[in-house]
A and B are shown apart, each in its own frame.
Chain A
Amino acid sequence: MKRVKGVNLHIPVVHGSYAKHLGDKGTESRSHEWTVYLRPLQAADLSHFIKHVEFVLHESFEPQTRRVTEMPYEVQEYGWGEFEVVIRVFFQDPSEKPVEFFHPLRLFETMGEPSPDPVVSEHYDEIVFQDPPEKLHSLLKTIPHGPNLRIKQPSYPISNYFKDFSGAESNDLRKLEHARRTLREETIKRQAKYERLEEERAGLLRQISGYDSRAS
């Protein structure tokens, strides 16, 4: 296997889940119908470089590991509790090791009563390829994408609920910058305090030594 040195590519993806309360139709152990999925951020054919995706569910599910070989990469199940789903992505080039995402499955709104709307929880992430193998590199360069591409989206018609991540990055950066400024001010304050204390200490030491010499 030969790697293309110095190349850093990343594919933005979203792993998410949506869940619907079944109400009267459900039972105690099957109160919700939920789907966990991995989708491209924008329309793109991920199967071009992804061989299959494994979803590792809670150990109470049988079988625990579900393998999906075609888009959309999703698993639909019934359950009553939230847990963390491990999403393992295997590439067309077997020499590249699989990448894991951890998706916290959400069934319940953080607050309020269950609503007829599904509970959607989406997380942005990126698959980063540092020095990808040559074969994978060529695949990554030729991913079919664009608005005209017809690819299967997660089966449930929830595209309306897809989270918009366009402003997320700049928003986070703004927040981070603000936090760093706050911290910097605080640091300068502490530094000033240190200087002050240092001065006071020197003065106190002088006075004490004065007393000592007088005493002796």
Chain B
Amino acid sequence: MSQQTAPATNTSSAPPPPLSLPAGVPENTTNLVKTPQTPATAAKPPLPRATRATPRPTNATSSASITTGKRSTPPGNQPSAKRLHNLLPVRPLAASAPRENAVPREVFLLTGGVTLAPIAPHLPPHIITAKPTRKNSWVIAPFRNSARKDGLTFSHWTRVGAPSDSAFARFNKQIKMITYSKEEYEKYLKNLIPLADAPKGEKERPNTNAKLPKSERNDIHNILPQAAWTKEETDTLFSLCRRFDMRFPIVHDRWPTSLSPRSVDELKDRYYSVARRLIDVRTAADPSYVSKQPLAIQRHAETIIKNQFDYEYECVRKNQLEWAYRRSKQELREEEETVRKARRIEANRRRIHKERQRLAKLLAPTPEIAADTARQTAIPPKLFPHRKHTTGAFARSTMIYAQVSNSAKVAKRVDAALIELGIGLRPTPTALVVDNFDLLRMDILAFMELARTVQRKEEEVHQLRCKLAKLKGDPPPPAPPGISISNKKRKADESDIASLFGTTS
């Protein structure tokens, strides 16, 4: 807008607007032109601001200011300035006494008489009117697009000496495809069975429902049997593939209605099986067939041979995806719940298995201790996981001090057991003694674990005894020594005993 108002400076009689119009301020030009406000009305003492605001038309745009600028309004009549002042908190100029560089009183009060610099930059006239210095090098020239086959010629503005071919022609990439001749079609492709109906056995398909009869399986997974392909269909498929760069969804979309309808997967299946058959046949005739082809075809052929398109699998996959997509929130929740349950069951099973293994180890018959321990040497070092076997010098006694367990509590109990067994914590540290000492400590650890397991089992059996006694109506059996029952259970038992005593006494 600032530039648009700039021509106003050419009409030197009109002072520059004291404030440039803010963008988007509506200005009614029609009103301005048709009913110019008389000086008398403009000179009226200003009304209170709220009432003064005239209803502003909304359809006018900011471009109206162009008109304002270009129209050299008489200096005595400045409706635009007046309107502007209506909008701004500035007292309007007295229209009858135009003053050069008049500063409104309020502005004067604010600025202290310093004239406001116009916000719109004033471009010097010589810049605005300057002619381009460079010689015009643009011409209208005819051009062709080499992507077009019809050689249609258009003209466009272009630099002198620009190439006559369209700059966009290079984007016209033509897909390279494997094609077939009529003879080849008759010979190899006419009776090509769609992959989905080909006899099984050549390839394992990751199909989960392999045990089901085929028709049933196909129903479940929405696998539709394919109708036999005609030459017309195949030709259409190949031409559409070429036209749409083998984007099969588009090919499917443009599939002519005159032909029998085909699904995207059927189209893919047909294309890939034909291409595969062609490559097979041609490679059989000439082993270096593929390597003679352009690079794009080579890659394409390699991909086709390496990854067979599996129509059936593709149907199943899409069906499953569709099914997964259409699940309701509730089904989703149920499924998550099932997964969680399965995970829990699995964890439980693993835990039980581990427990069983541990028990089996504990309950394995203990080997007879060699009568002559002095001969027992060369104990595998892996028996003592707590010890670091390093190179270098060390005092043998450090092997005895090494803790048998990482847990301080367990190590303490092992020490107590050693003292109880009359060994003490500091036997003579010779190699043999150290080895036997370690064996003993491992035995103690195993024994402690066994003792704990037995105790747990005893607790369990005791609880079962109590349960059975309750069922029979007998008094609960006394707890075996050293068996602790959970607090709640103990309380219940005590109350039972109390009631029992109550009835007997």
Contacts and interface: CB of A to CB of B under 8 A. Distances in A.
A130 B461 contact: no
Given A201-B461, A211-B468, A96 B450 contact: no
B396 interface: yes
A163 B464 CA distance: 59
A10 interface: yes
A176 B427 contact: yes
A190 B457 CA distance: 11
Interface in B58-76: none
B396 A128 contact: yes
Nearest to B364: A191
Interface residues of A, number: 55
Given A194-B453, A197-B457, A205-B464, A128 B421 contact: no
A204 B468 contact: yes
A2 B391 CA distance: 12
A183 B448 CA distance: 10
A128 B428 contact: no
Contacts of A173: 373-374, 432-433, 436
Interface SS of chain B: helix
Contact of B393 (A125, A132, A188): A132
B451 A169 contact: no
Contacts of A100: 395
B450 A169 contact: no
Contact of B392 (A131, A169, A186, A201): A131
Interface string B442-461: 01101100110110011011
B55 interface: no
A78 interface: no
B428 A168 contact: yes
A198 B457 contact: yes
Given A180-B440, A184-B366, A131 B391 contact: yes
- The A contact surface, by secondary structure, is helix
A155 interface: no
Contacts of B464: 201, 204-205, 208
B397 A10 contact: no
A130 B391 contact: yes
A9 to B, nearest CB: 9
Contact of B443 (A180, A194, A200): A180
Contacts of B454: 190, 193-194, 197
Contacts of A83: none
A208 B374 contact: no
Given A131-B392, A211-B468, A180 B369 contact: yes
Contact of B436 (A3, A177, A207): A177
A170 interface: yes
B471 interface: yes
Interface string B402-441: 0000000000000000000111001111111100110110
Nearest to A181: B369
B140 interface: no
B110 interface: no
A179 interface: yes
B456 to A, nearest CB: 10
B390 interface: yes
A49 to B, nearest CB: 10
B392 A176 contact: no
B468 A208 contact: yes
B428 A172 contact: yes
Contact of B391 (A3, A179, A193, A201): A3
Nearest to A214: B471
B396 A180 contact: no
B198 interface: no
Interface in A107-155: 123-132
Nearest to B391: A131
B436 A125 contact: no
A29 interface: no
B467 interface: yes
B210 interface: no
B405 to A, nearest CB: 16
Contacts of A183: 421, 440, 443-444, 447
Contacts of B422: 175, 178-179
B363 interface: yes
Contact of B468 (A91, A123, A207): A207
B395 A190 contact: no
A101 interface: yes
B394 interface: yes
Contacts of B444: 183
A207 B453 CA distance: 24
Contact of B394 (A99, A165, A172, A182): A99
The 3 closest A-B pairs by CB, nearest first: A126-B396, A179-B421, A204-B464
19 contacts: A99-B395, A128-B395, A129-B392, A173-B436, A176-B423, A176-B437, A180-B440, A181-B369, A183-B443, A184-B369, A193-B454, A195-B363, A197-B457, A198-B457, A204-B461, A204-B467, A208-B464, A211-B471, A211-B472
Interface of B: 362-363, 366, 369, 373-374, 389-397, 421-423, 426-433, 436-437, 439-440, 443-444, 446-447, 450-451, 453-454, 457-458, 460-461, 464-465, 467-468, 471-472
Given A169-B433, A171-B428, 15 more contacts: A99-B393, A101-B395, A102-B397, A172-B428, A175-B422, A176-B373, A176-B439, A179-B440, A181-B369, A183-B421, A183-B443, A190-B447, A194-B454, A204-B461, A208-B471
